[in-house]
Amino acid sequence: MLQRSRRSLTSQLAVLAFLAAAHNASASPVTDFQARFVQTTWCLAQVEALVRVQPLSAVPVTVPEAIVSWMALVSEDVTGLVQASPGGATDEQKKVIATGLKTTAATLQDLSSLARNRGLDATVLTLDALGSSCRMTLARLSPRGER
């Protein structure tokens, strides 16, 4: 019984040491951006799937709760993308961030058009604001003439 208790304590200490090391390790801005970009892409795909099944509507309709929930995640992720600081990043890493922002802005614009065709005006407003945020961040990152 005592030996089992020691193993359990040793295991718990090992887990705590691992968690402490993971907590102290920080991701680079580019790594953080890439992880958030993948998550954003996945969340946008979920929103698109939910929007596509909505009937077309020329008048504003209530946004289903599932879309509202996924849009909250999209908003959080896009906010993280635009706040990713490329300070100290190489030119290649800045290109990765710029490409991700361009892709996200284009996806948001396409999804906004799709939501507009379904009468999901509140979702359209959020998507348009997030797209604008991506484009403004991209403008700050890109040298003049590169957009």
pLDDT reading at 146 higher than 60? no
Mean pLDDT of all residues in 81-90 = 80
Q: Which domains does the chain have, with CATH numbers?
A: 27-141 (1.20.1440)
CB 74 within 8 A of CB 14: no
Backbone conformation region of residue 120, classed left if phi is above 0, alpha if psi is from -120 to 50, else beta: beta
Query: What is the DSSP-derived secondary structure letter of residue 88?
Result: T
pLDDT digits (tens, 9 = 90+) for 29-78: 788 889 999 999 999 999 999 999 999 999 999 999 999 999 999 999 99
Band of residue 147 on the pLDDT scale cut at 50, 70, 90? very low
pLDDT digits (tens, 9 = 90+) for 101-125: 999 999 999 999 999 999 999 999 9
- Of 38, 73, 75, 68, nearest in space to 51 by CA: 68
pLDDT reading at 131 higher than 70? yes
Q: What is the pLDDT of residue 60?
A: 96
Q: What is the pLDDT of residue 15?
A: 52
pTM of the model: 0.78
Q: d(Cα 111, Cα 62) in Å, to the nearest integer?
A: 17
Which of 25-29, 30-34, 133-137 is the least confident region? 25-29
